[in-house]
Amino acid sequence: METNTNASLSQIISTLLKPLKFASKDNFIHLAALKKVEGLVQGLCRKALALPLSDKEAIKIKELQSVFENFDSLIIGEKKEKIMKAFDVIKAISNQQPAVRVLGESRKLNAECYSLNEIKTRLAKLSTPLKDIKGIGPKLAEVFKKKGLETVEDILYFLPIRYEDRRQIKKIAQLRLGTREVASGEIMALGEVFYGRRKVFEMTIGDGSGYLRLKWFHYRLPLMKKRYAVGRRLVVYGEINTFGGYKEIIHPDVEILEQEDVLDSINFKTIAPVYSQVGNLHQKTLRKIIRKIVEEYVCCATGAVPSYMLKRYGLMELPSAVTEIHKPNSELPTPNSELSKDWLPRKSLVFDELFCLEMGLALKKGSMGKESGIAFKVGADLKPVPMVENLRKMLPFKLTSAQERVIAEIKRDMAIPHPMNRLIQGDVGSGKTVVAFIASLIAIENNYQVAIMAPTEILAEQHYLNIHRYADGLGIRIALLTSSLSKSERKVILDGMKNGVINLAIGTHALIQEDVDFKRLGLAIIDEQHRFGVVQRAMLKKKGTNPDILVMTATPIPRTLAMTVFGDLAISVIDELPPGRRPIITKVFREKDREQVYKIIKTELAKGRQAYIVYPLIEESEELELKNATHMAGHLQQDIFPEYKIELLHGRMKAEEKEKIMKKFKEQEIYILVSTTVIEVGIDVSNATVMVIEHAERFGLSQLHQLRGRVGRGGHDSYCFLLAGNIGSLDSYQRLKVMENTNDGFKIAEEDLKIRGPGDFLGTRQAGLPDFRVVNLLTDAFLLQKAREEAFNIIKIDPDLSMTKHATVKEVVKVRWKGRTKFATMEDFII
């Protein structure tokens, strides 16, 4: 007989089936939302076992218990499998049908295998535009768009900036000084108050336990009056201080409560996420919208990381991680503070993003390795190439061992029948040009043509002039192609490139114009590659049939960043300067010490040396920059250095004009070159020993380092003076001081990266990378190495991701890379 206290087996089973059926609905789309199942199932099973059961029933119930062991800690794929198993077990002892609808093959499959169609459907759903979401019209969608949020996926990845612990809002009397806290209360009084001559908007709220003052030093009165009124209830957040015996928060975050807000569990009685401001939306509205989207679409979030890897690193599946982030269930590591980088849900998202990036790079690198290319004869057993040997004889110096090493690496690449993709990193003055020239000669010796592309005309011209010196002696024909050529000059060169008469073409972007053709381009070299994007790299490459590619940069890129930005390139580093170079004496000066700078310039000029004075590019105003430089050039000539010839060089000048001035400077007809940043890269005048940089605080350190590299190219002591214009903060002064202490470009780049972040540093877009949604390269670098290893390992065993267990990865990588980079060239490697 059944009693009322003991439920029957069938009742127990139907209770058990409820969450399981829910989870399995729509092909397990709700599985991510299923929490704390284990306890429930175990409890029910124990209850069942207390009943008088048949042997078979008892065995099956025990089997159920073991199926659900550790269930809560499993990843979604495993949970799915377990639930399927549970249904089978239940079927054996009950006539209640689980009624699961499972698509296609997925029933028999394990963790990895959602069917491809299912993955595609999910991924497609993620790109649903916000304007198509019920409750978000075109107007609201526009507001989100301004914040860069356009799709459902954007919202899922829109991480809160912090959380407020509102599970139990403290009484005002209990708020602790010096900590950030959440409080709530009713407005008792408000208005403008004067503290001396300072106007402050002040409000007092009370909750029966005490009073809390809220203060604003910056506000708009009409707005404040409109928003707040005595009697309104608020939730406020901020650091609790004390002033004149009152607890106070200065510039608190405020949410206004409506009557019905009390019971709402999105904003209260919970750990509430706080998002970065979107338009004028209230946090409450924002939370509501985000919550709705997360609930509906989180099941579509599909991670790239295979589940065996998630397990290895103890990471969460993407849907659970996203849910947790927007709706934290568990204890936050530090409530009432910013998102911690180590918090598991965030870390899971970060790893997924990094892995996806590295996977794309690994695929790209892998597919390039398979491409057929030119196998240059570099001399049997790497023996000398005649033209190269001739050059060596002509050079007025011996190559450094770093240069030799890099040349050997290049030769190895050139010899194999796949295209070379190599980056040469070398500090300013490390001698990259001659290395590139030697690579060129190998290609030319093999009857191929070479293109060298530089970012500015001056730099292209300089390469041209440098190489021109040796061209006749080596019996090669070279040409300079820039946009400032006349039509007929241009035609002659284009013809020469097309019919193969020209062996080496040096130029700017002009080289990648549509009407430019090579007869047999075998090697494409790109100088100062960070100035170009992947698009241009690809365009130059297309001028030949899978030519070898060599890119060079003097911007030392910290290792972590290089791995991401140039993940598809092999990297060579020229880590040695030619002998005899002396460190450049660098000093930061404040405006008031300008005279000292002039004095040293005078001393140097008297010795026959020359100087550069550079003006920064002033944001938004090329006009102003020019004006400053022009004005200064005049002033210096008339008032400071009347006996030395000064000229002005700026970006608006015609190329010939620029070249004329540069030539005059090189030939020492000009002593001081006042310039805008056009001289930034590669200019080589060895008699120049002073580099003065005005408004140095406006430059990145790496850029300063580049500029500094323009001097110290002869055997003389050289100087770099950084004039700090309006240094507001001590910080930016300290930052400049780094330049005084080191000449090491890599160290400087690391500093730069710390201060400015990678986007600013290189422009990730420019580099052809997808923008990161959650990754912060500075703090998440430790995960990058792991993600990279894993990705490259996968490609080693499964080069085109054809294994079933990599079906998801393949699809996710494809969609994410495609969706996030606008570059057609990215398609090339997507398989």
In whole angstroms, the minimum distance from the beta carbon of 653 to ligand ADP comes to: 23
In whole angstroms, the minimum distance from the beta carbon of 400 to Mg ion comes to: 15
In whole angstroms, the minimum distance from the beta carbon of 431 to ligand ADP comes to: 3
Q: Which of residues 483-512 bind Mg ion (CB under 5 A)?
A: none
701-708 and 730-741 are packed helices; what angle lies between their axes, rounded to 10 degrees? 40
Neighbours of 264 (CB within 10 A): 15
Q: Which is nearer to ligand ADP, 159 or 428 (CB)?
A: 428
Q: Which is nearer to Mg ion, 286 or 526 (CB)?
A: 526
Tell me if 682 contacts Mg ion by CB under 5 A.
Answer: yes
DSSP code for 569 = S
> What is the helix, strand, coil percentage profile of the chain, to 5?
50, 15, 35
Tell me if 745 contacts ligand ADP by CB under 6 A.
Answer: no
**C-alpha triplet 612, 681, 425: angle, nearest 5°:** 135
In whole angstroms, the minimum distance from the beta carbon of 646 to ligand ADP comes to: 25
* Closest listed residue to residue 190, CA positions, set 218, 231, 247: 231
Burial of 364 (0-12, 13-18, 19+ CB in 10 A): buried
DSSP code for 451 = E
* Closest listed residue to residue 172, CA positions, set 231, 249, 232: 249
Burial 237-250 (b: 16+ CB within 10 A, else e): bbebeeeeeebbbe
Contact 290, 326 (CB under 8 A): yes
**φ, ψ for residue 39 (rounded to 5)?**
-60, -45
The structure tokens listed for 675 are 């310039």
Neighbours of 291 (CB within 10 A): 15
Q: Which of residues 551-570 bind ligand ADP (CB under 6 A)?
A: 554
The structure tokens listed for 428 are 């300013």
In whole angstroms, the minimum distance from the beta carbon of 721 to ligand ADP comes to: 21
DSSP code for 806 = G
In whole angstroms, the minimum distance from the beta carbon of 699 to ligand ADP comes to: 18
Q: Which residues contact 795 (CB under 8 A, 6 or more apart)?
A: 359, 362, 363, 365, 366
In whole angstroms, the minimum distance from the beta carbon of 596 to ligand ADP comes to: 29
Applying CB under 5 A, the span of 85-93, 131-139, 587-595, 681-689 interacting with Mg ion comes to: 681-689
In the sheet that holds 198-206, the strands lie side by side as: 241-243, 246-250, 211-216, 198-206, 180-195, 233-239, 253-257
Query: How many residues line the site for Mg ion (CB under 5 A)?
Result: 1
Which residue among 116, 281, 399, 571 contacts ligand ADP (CB under 6 A)?
A: 399
Contact 238, 274 (CB under 8 A): no
> CA-based Rg of the chain, rounded to a whole angstrom?
34
Residue 571: strand, helix, or coil? strand
Q: Which of residues 14-43 bind Mg ion (CB under 5 A)?
A: none
Burial of 306 (0-12, 13-18, 19+ CB in 10 A): buried
The structure tokens listed for 57 are 């029933």
Q: Which residues contact 382 (CB under 8 A, 6 or more apart)?
A: 408, 411, 412, 415
In whole angstroms, the minimum distance from the beta carbon of 655 to ligand ADP comes to: 20
Q: Which residues contact 630 (CB under 8 A, 6 or more apart)?
A: 648, 650
Which residue among 426, 522, 547, 745 contacts ligand ADP (CB under 6 A)?
A: 426
Strands 241-243 and 246-250, sheet pairing = antiparallel
Contact 270, 751 (CB under 8 A): no
- Binding partner at 431 among ligand ADP, Mg ion, none, C-beta below 5 to 8 Å by kind: ligand ADP
Q: Which is nearer to ligand ADP, 429 or 758 (CB)?
A: 429
Applying CB under 5 A, the span of 4-12, 138-146, 234-242, 675-683 interacting with Mg ion comes to: 675-683
Query: How many residues line the site for ligand ADP (CB under 6 A)?
Result: 17
- Binding partner at 400 among ligand ADP, Mg ion, none, C-beta below 5 to 8 Å by kind: ligand ADP
Q: Which of residues 222-281 bind ligand ADP (CB under 6 A)?
A: none
Tell me if 27 contacts ligand ADP by CB under 6 A.
Answer: no
Tell me if 373 contacts Mg ion by CB under 5 A.
Answer: no
**φ, ψ for residue 163 (rounded to 5)?**
-125, 150
Binding mask 570-609 toward ligand ADP (x if CB under 6 A, else -) reads --------x-------------------------------
In whole angstroms, the minimum distance from the beta carbon of 581 to ligand ADP comes to: 8
Instruction: Find the residue with minimal CB distance to ligand ADP.
Output: 431
In whole angstroms, the minimum distance from the beta carbon of 407 to ligand ADP comes to: 11
Which residue among 430, 503, 560, 703 contacts ligand ADP (CB under 6 A)?
A: 430
In whole angstroms, the minimum distance from the beta carbon of 616 to ligand ADP comes to: 21
Residue ranges of E strands in 4-49: none
In whole angstroms, the minimum distance from the beta carbon of 573 to ligand ADP comes to: 12
For tokens 């050039």, what's the residue?
633
In whole angstroms, the minimum distance from the beta carbon of 435 to Mg ion comes to: 10
In whole angstroms, the minimum distance from the beta carbon of 462 to ligand ADP comes to: 8
The structure tokens listed for 56 are 């078979």
Applying CB under 5 A, the span of 131-139, 219-227, 245-253, 676-684 interacting with Mg ion comes to: 676-684
Q: Which is nearer to ligand ADP, 20 or 573 (CB)?
A: 573
Which residue among 77, 160, 273, 431 contacts ligand ADP (CB under 6 A)?
A: 431
Which residue among 434, 467, 701, 807 contacts ligand ADP (CB under 6 A)?
A: 434
Tell me if 150 contacts ligand ADP by CB under 6 A.
Answer: no
In whole angstroms, the minimum distance from the beta carbon of 502 to Mg ion comes to: 22
Applying CB under 6 A, the span of 60-68, 209-217, 423-431, 781-789 interacting with ligand ADP comes to: 423-431
Q: Which residues contact 258 (CB under 8 A, 6 or more apart)?
A: none
Which residue among 251, 397, 654, 741 contacts ligand ADP (CB under 6 A)?
A: 397
Integer Cα distance of 91 and 70 in angstroms? 22
- Binding partner at 344 among Mg ion, ligand ADP, none, C-beta below 5 to 8 Å by kind: none
Q: Which is nearer to ligand ADP, 575 or 717 (CB)?
A: 575
In whole angstroms, the minimum distance from the beta carbon of 579 to ligand ADP comes to: 7
Integer Cα distance of 28 and 11 in angstroms? 24
DSSP string, 378-439: --GGGPPPHHHHHHHHH-SSPPPHHHHHHHHHHHHHHHSSS--EEEEEE-TTS-HHHHHHHH
Tell me if 160 contacts Mg ion by CB under 5 A.
Answer: no
Binding mask 681-700 toward ligand ADP (x if CB under 6 A, else -) reads -x-x----------------
Which residue among 320, 433, 440, 529 contacts ligand ADP (CB under 6 A)?
A: 433
Q: Which is nearer to Mg ion, 462 or 628 (CB)?
A: 462
- Binding partner at 459 among ligand ADP, Mg ion, none, C-beta below 5 to 8 Å by kind: none
Write the CA distances from 130 to 119, 137, 159, 276, 774, integer angstroms.
21, 8, 17, 18, 20
Identify the bridge partners of residue 421 per DSSP, sorted by sequence position. 549
DSSP string, 285-315: HHHHHHHHHHHHHGGG---SS-HHHHHHHTP
Integer Cα distance of 475 and 389 in angstroms? 13
Which residue among 27, 204, 400, 718 contacts ligand ADP (CB under 6 A)?
A: 400
Q: Which is nearer to ligand ADP, 122 or 705 (CB)?
A: 705
In whole angstroms, the minimum distance from the beta carbon of 293 to ligand ADP comes to: 51
Applying CB under 6 A, the span of 112-120, 346-354, 399-407, 739-747 interacting with ligand ADP comes to: 399-407
Tell me if 745 contacts Mg ion by CB under 5 A.
Answer: no
- Residues forming contacts to ligand ADP in the complex (CB under 6 A) are 397, 399-400, 403, 426, 428-434, 554, 578, 682, 684, 713
- Residues forming contacts to Mg ion in the complex (CB under 5 A) are 682
